[in-house]
Structure 1
């Protein structure tokens, strides 16, 4: 079985500056640390590196660093950080990114932006430039921003969009689980109505504080399946962010393996092709050969 991890983070705070790292995340997570967390029983494993949000002026340096360690880390594609609302500056940044063969898409973190930001003309201009280059867009948003992502998809229908982390729904904790809200499920279905939008089965462990039960997360995976169908879902580990046990403030070894097993067993129970969810859909979306 071949696995493509569609959402891998790597960073080294001794080489680049990150103003959001704290606690057990505030240390090096790079190729050596990742290799120690490789999945068991998988004959071939590769990954898509997704920008880890260094300070804005170092976004291009992050791509250089990720590209340099791509081979030992098994990274076959890079989703680079880029501000899409800066007009000419955005175009220059995208042109610089184009010199890296592994760059297949960009992510401008929307989760901290004000309402309506992704529908502003400056952002839409940047989104159209991303599409013109044949790249994709990773949408990392809060649950209450799903409608805005749907509106973005309608405004730029030629732009392939993938929703990170199912839109970060509230799922509660392992001891006090929450059911999917009807508002989130409705917004997810509305987003899934746009055929160029995919969804990553990622990030739910982080939303649960790093400790979860299969019974807790399965209703959310079912909602994603109902909204997007089996050919537009892709597994992502969100490592190492989703490998932190928040209650104990530690990095939990083997949690990446456990999330893989959680999604694999769910897919098998639903009669979904594991090759689609764990490989083909990511390869298709990111146009990885």
Structure 2
């Protein structure tokens, strides 16, 4: 694939990984890690572990994303970002159904690491109601997220895309970021109705997508870039490079491939883009969407990009 084209700042180039996780099992359990297939994830993953991967891959800044619906996790992530030369932003969690959402967000932003809070996410994929995003109490919470100047990350399944589209249409002041392309059925090879529903979501100007998580929706042990391409091409065409950003989904991605190959695969899937367009996918879109600003470009001057 060769070296990735990189976005540039006054003090150097940068590549942003807009989606990864960290967890410490000595602090709390990750109750979603169940069954033998997920056994490789049942250990602690630290910022130091991630830094070794990003340094080797030429990634200069990252966005840390929540994993559990526990209020204490977000302040912990903000503290980690505050002390990190790598993590430029945090997508945290708060209870969107609470009448105190606005006050909670204000309190998080006021923490010592609060300036790193760029967005909020909830495990909508686990909600049994396919229209959960349209509930009045959730809408109130999403309105508070927008008022706080934050984005909203969507982790959903294909059947929840219509509700996500309605929510995004009804709240044009909020930027909705779609994680993992809504987890399309890559393993089965089916495109519809996922592709049509994805295009409807992406047609709204306040939506952004992540080129992330596709190979973990495939057969972990037998997938090829060709298997991913129909889904990636749909994603790339629907959003375009100015509204698409790379995310590794580390360490979940390691169920299928190591970090470096995850980045290389994204590079292969975007090879038809111009250098400027790929620079947007691998940096510029994340910086603009999450308003990373100096937090990202500062790190660019401290890490070499290859």
Q: TM-score by structure 1 length?
A: 0.88
Are 2:106 and 1:92 aligned? no
3-state SS of 1:115 partner: coil
3-state SS of 2:172 partner: coil
Are 2:16 and 1:4 aligned? yes
Conserved? CA contact 1:108–1:139, under 8 Å: yes
Are 2:177 and 1:123 aligned? no
Counterpart pick for 1:232 among 243, 261, 286? 243
Aligned-pair CA distance for 1:158? 0.5
Partners of 1:124 and 1:239 in 2: CA distance: 30
Equivalent position of 2:84 in the other structure? 70
3-state SS of 2:271 partner: helix
Aligned-pair CA distance for 1:265? 2.1
Partners of 1:139 and 1:93 in 2: CA distance: 20
Q: Which moved more, 1:194-203 or 1:60-69?
A: 60-69
Counterpart pick for 1:167 among 176, 182, 192? 182
Aligned-pair CA distance for 1:223? 0.2
Paired residue total: 271
Are 2:190 and 1:187 aligned? no
Equivalent position of 1:269 in the other structure? 272
3-state SS of 1:111 partner: helix
Equivalent position of 2:299 in the other structure? none
3-state SS of 2:245 partner: strand
Q: Which moved more, 1:13-22 or 1:75-84?
A: 13-22
Equivalent position of 1:110 in the other structure? 124
Query: What value does the CA root-mean-square deviation take over the aligned residues?
Result: 1.8
Aligned-pair CA distance for 1:67? 3.0
Aligned-pair CA distance for 1:267? 1.4
Partners of 1:152 and 1:41 in 2: CA distance: 36
Q: TM-score by structure 2 length?
A: 0.83
Equivalent position of 2:154 in the other structure? 139
Conserved? CA contact 1:49–1:66, under 8 Å: no
Partners of 1:123 and 1:231 in 2: CA distance: 28
Conserved? CA contact 1:77–1:288, under 8 Å: yes
Are 2:93 and 1:81 aligned? yes
* CA distance 1:17–1:93, shift in 2 (3 Å): farther
Q: Which moved more, 1:262-271 or 1:56-65?
A: 56-65
Equivalent position of 2:210 in the other structure? 200
Equivalent position of 2:259 in the other structure? 256
Aligned-pair CA distance for 1:65? 4.4
